Amino acid sequence: MDTLSGKIAVVTGGASGIGRAVAEVFAETDIAGLTLADIDGGAAEEVAESMRVRFGVDAIGVATDVSVADQVDGMIRQTMERFQRVDILVNNAGIAPVTRWPEVTEANWRHVLDVNLNGAFLCMLTVLPIMERQRSGRIVNISSAGAFVGSVCAHPAYGVSKAGMIAMTKSAAKEYATSGILINAIAPGSIDTPLARRFGSAQVEAFRQASPMQRQGNAREIADAVWYLVSERSTYVTGATLHVNGGSLLV
């Protein structure tokens, strides 16, 4: 029950931060196969290599821009050729450019939605028919506390994209509940990764002080929550959003 033995997972944005930590916890618990899909294909392949060497997991890194349908199709095709199934999809790839309202343009607004929301949508669109044929699957969409409070210093479309992921999670969860496919979201608070570091030390300190636990989270704390939702420890949770934020939405 406490392994992912025999399972095949696709983790988008798997080259860094939370995605990399998810790959590690999956590998530590004996996952059979892993596709790490990232726009930075070289970094994804490095993480895959590390999973192969450290854990003996059959892992591949695939250069993929999740906002481009053809690239998502190609990445899932490669996964199916290699592993013949997809049991777990973690939609984690995301961007959070530091942009204030006066700097918002139609182009940068669309870009944030394209990567964060449409990228997750395209991956679900491609993977859901596979999971439906299997009559089983787990999808975890990495949203954000920004879905609930609005973007803090990231582009205003960031919070919008993350709120959209939650609504998408709920509608798909209802549709596929009788197909053996459980679909959930996680809303992390401020997590110490390259993405959050780009906000600058003053903003990170403000996040820390605003948190009842008086600290940022780490990527492993999100990865462990993902693990719960894709494991056999979780069989009756779907359409939910798990808040992993040290209580920061309480204040």
Ligand X SMILES: NC(=O)c1ccc[n+]([C@@H]2O[C@H](COP(=O)([O-])OP(=O)(O)OC[C@H]3O[C@@H](n4cnc5c(N)ncnc54)[C@H](O)[C@@H]3O)[C@@H](O)[C@H]2O)c1
Q: How far is the CB of 221 from ligand X (least distance, A)?
A: 11
Q: How far is the CB of 140 from ligand X (least distance, A)?
A: 11
> 161 vs 238, which CB is nearer to ligand X?
161
> 238 vs 248, which CB is nearer to ligand X?
248
> 28 vs 46, which CB is nearer to ligand X?
46
- The full DSSP string for 185-247 is EEEE-SB-SHHHHTT-HHHHHHHHHHSTTSS-B-HHHHHHHHHHHHSTT-SS--S-EEEESTT
**Beta bridge partners of residue 90, listed in sequence order:** 11, 140
Q: How far is the CB of 242 from ligand X (least distance, A)?
A: 12
> 193 vs 211, which CB is nearer to ligand X?
193
Which of 158, 176, 228, 236 is catalytic? The answer is 158
Question: φ, ψ for residue 198 (rounded to 5)?
Answer: -70, -15
The site for ligand X (CB under 6 A) is made up of 12-13, 15-19, 38-40, 64-67, 92-96, 115, 119, 142, 144, 188, 190-191, 193-196
Q: How far is the CB of 96 from ligand X (least distance, A)?
A: 5
- Is residue 228 part of the annotated active site? The answer reads no
The answer for residues whose C-beta is within 8 angstroms of residue 37's C-beta and 6 or more apart is 10, 11, 12, 13, 14, 44, 62, 64, 66, 75, 93
- The full DSSP string for 71-105 is HHHHHHHHHHHHHS---EEEE------B--GGG--
Active site residues: 158
